[in-house]
């Protein structure tokens, strides 16, 4: 019994140490402030989508696009969407791939396109920082925020890759804060896992 109790104590102490590390390094503070800053934009975006959807069914329009366009057209449309802000829900395209003759092949293509779109978005973000006005603003007004963002950039990419949030925006933000590209490649690969999980769920429903 004693060894088990000791291992539990050790495990608990490790969690406490991890919590202390996150507290001391400002991780919780950074996440909290980031969420609060993003909240107004999220609310505005949701409100805009709701208003547009009230007069014009967005989901039906997207489904019709997948029905009208040829396969390569749908894939191109999806890649553009995943590169430019990624606001179109990928679940619609996953459901579309489930109706094709080789669903897992097309799901794999969608996953790779989404992943590639995020990497392209990183360079779009990097390009934005080359604009003199933006560069000066980031250096003079956002120096502290950029320092914290670089420290937790990996968390930003993981959240965008796995959760139902635009992966493109996470990668673009990583490019803006000059987060190492090789780390974006590594953390961003979790995007492939998300598509695999969603495929297992959606293919069993469709």
Give yes or no for a contact between 101 and 148, defined as CB atoms under 8 angstroms apart: no
Domain boundaries, the chain: 1-56, 62-205
Q: What residues contact residue 138 under an 8 Å CB cut-off, 6+ apart?
A: 129, 146, 176
Q: What is the pLDDT of residue 193?
A: 92
25 phi, psi to nearest 5 deg: -85, -5
Which of 22-31, 35-44, 59-68 reaches the highest mean pLDDT?
A: 59-68
What is the band of 133 on the pLDDT scale with cuts at 50, 70, 90? Answer: confident
Q: Is the pLDDT of residue 49 over 70?
A: no
Q: What is the pLDDT of residue 21?
A: 56
Task: Please state, in angstroms and rounded to a whole number, the distance separating the CA atoms of residues 29 and 194.
Answer: 28
Q: Is the pLDDT of residue 188 over 70?
A: yes
Q: What is the pLDDT of residue 43?
A: 67
Q: Residues 72-121: pLDDT tens digits?
A: 988 999 999 899 877 788 888 888 888 888 889 999 999 999 999 999 99
Q: Residues 50-79: pLDDT tens digits?
A: 665 556 655 566 667 777 878 898 899 999
Task: Please state, in angstroms and rounded to a whole number, the distance separating the CA atoms of residues 103 and 145.
Answer: 43
What is the band of 157 on the pLDDT scale with cuts at 50, 70, 90? Answer: confident
Give, in order, the Cα–Cα distances in Å from 8 to each of 12, 16, 21, 22, 90: 6, 12, 20, 21, 41
Q: Is the pLDDT of residue 1 over 60?
A: no
- Flag whether the pTM goes above 0.75: no
Q: Which residues of 69-100 are buried (b: 16+ CB within 10 A; e: fewer)?
A: eeeeebbebbbebbbbebebebebbbbbbbee
Q: What is the pLDDT of residue 86?
A: 77
């Amino acid at each position: 019994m004693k060894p088990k109790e000791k291992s539990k104590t050790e495990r608990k102490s490790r969690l406490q140490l991890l919590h202390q590390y996150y507290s001391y390094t400002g991780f919780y503070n950074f996440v909290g402030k980031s969420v609060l800053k993003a909240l107004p934009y999220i609310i505005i975006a949701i409100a805009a989508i709701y208003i547009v959807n009230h007069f014009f069914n967005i989901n039906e329009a997207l489904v019709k696009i997948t029905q009208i366009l040829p396969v390569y057209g749908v894939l191109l449309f999806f890649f553009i969407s995943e590169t430019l802000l990624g606001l179109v829900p990928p679940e619609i395209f996953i459901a579309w791939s489930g109706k094709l003759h080789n669903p897992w092949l097309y799901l794999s293509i969608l996953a790779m396109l989404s992943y590639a779109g995020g990497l392209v978005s990183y360079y779009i973000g990097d390009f934005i920082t080359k604009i003199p006005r933006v560069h000066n603003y980031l250096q003079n007004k956002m120096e502290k925020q950029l320092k914290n963002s670089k420290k937790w950039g990996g968390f930003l990419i993981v959240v965008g890759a796995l959760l139902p949030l635009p992966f493109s925006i996470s990668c673009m933000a990583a490019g803006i804060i000059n987060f190492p590209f090789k780390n974006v490649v590594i953390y961003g690969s979790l995007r492939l896992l998300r598509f695999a999980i969603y495929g297992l769920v959606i293919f069993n429903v469709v």
